[in-house]
A and B are shown apart, each in its own frame.
Chain A
């Protein structure tokens, strides 16, 4: 078994060994060698992240259940929801594209929001969540593949392309996606894995000491 050294930090980009220093409110610790961000001080991280995650969960449901945009072409009206768009592209014989969109816009954000709540709710109540380690590992990987903000830009580009030929109607989910983009960005910004690990260490210590 490896021997832990709790007051050392290793830069994940240049492999420099550094000593941990306390940070002021909102401070960021950067590597003295390559300038990579090592860790941040975030105020009230767990509460805020949890609040953003719950709000994002609500917005996520709205964004997926309601139509995003509608078009009117000489009296013919058509509108599209996100799951509808994915199944429509699948039926047009493009299963690869629809799977890619399904994963990046539906699955990955859902997993991220759900795991965040599953992780932080027990930590907030001072208990050890079940499967913390796999959750932390999955959160790290899934973050890269959730692309709601890119999709939001995609909606805007599609709008511009559509306005030349059609009358475009903004539906509920376009606003929900805008809100979801902001909420997910805020959630990522306020989430501080370092603080979660410290809390977990604390909980483990309290559990050992009677």
Chain B
């Protein structure tokens, strides 16, 4: 692999500003906080407390993933029927009623994506903590994917909001958002924050040569 023995910016003492991208060389001799010479943002070689913060947010979202999937997401009442749906039973209902394409979209956005994010971030964190030197480009791509797909999980929250507001026809048809929606919203927000807290540069650190 091409970049195997290269030095990292950190070991060379260079730092790029995360806001304006300007590369500068902070002088580490004193204890003062280094500021970007162009935009005066505080400079960091790595995101501070990345691993700890990411683990904390990830564990919180993993715990909330349980109520999000077991509690009621949406209550639907019409004259002839009254249903209480969890996320999964909502998907099944969509599937059997013939909208298999939409069922697939909701299944991916609400069940596959959050689970994938939690597992992927846990794997990334563990490999970084073990200073693993394997699969480095693949793990970088995995992180990119986690960051890109995260927002789409919010889909179900928006669907429930629209339906709960729209289907309010007195005594004939009614839709209510259930308690799972809160837990599910929290899972999505927490996994997004966890992905933001993770620093992908940590994946590359074990194979970088230290400064001679």
Contacts and interface: CB of A to CB of B under 8 A. Distances in A.
Contacts of B48: none
Nearest to A151: B158
Interface residues of B, number: 77
B185 interface: yes
Contacts of A97: 157, 160-161, 177, 181-182, 185
Given A9-B16, A97-B157, A73 B162 contact: no
Given A2-B35, A92-B164, A137-B41, A161 B94 contact: yes
Contacts of A207: none
A37 to B, nearest CB: 10
Contacts of B169: 71, 73, 76, 78
Interface string A14-54: 11110000000000000011111001000000000000000
A172 to B, nearest CB: 15
Contact of B23 (A1, A5, A153, A157): A5
A34 to B, nearest CB: 5
A58 B46 CA distance: 40
A203 interface: no
Given A9-B16, A16-B6, A92-B164, A157 B97 contact: no
Nearest to B185: A100
A158 B177 contact: no
A150 B152 contact: yes
Given A2-B24, A4-B24, A34-B137, A78 B166 contact: yes
Nearest to B172: A73
B161 A85 contact: yes
Contact of B181 (A1, A32, A94, A157): A94
Interface stretch (A114-122, A179-187, A193-201): A193-201
Contacts of A71: 166-167, 169
B84 interface: no
B6 A76 contact: no
Given A92-B177, A147-B151, A10 B23 contact: yes
A34 B168 contact: no
A13 to B, nearest CB: 5
12 contacts: A1-B35, A5-B23, A9-B21, A9-B23, A10-B23, A85-B162, A88-B168, A101-B157, A136-B20, A144-B196, A154-B158, A193-B21
Interface of A: 1-6, 8-10, 12-17, 32-36, 39, 68-69, 71, 73-74, 76, 78-80, 84-86, 88-89, 92, 94, 96-98, 100-101, 104-105, 132-133, 136-137, 140, 144, 147, 150-151, 153-158, 160-162, 164-166, 193-194, 197, 201
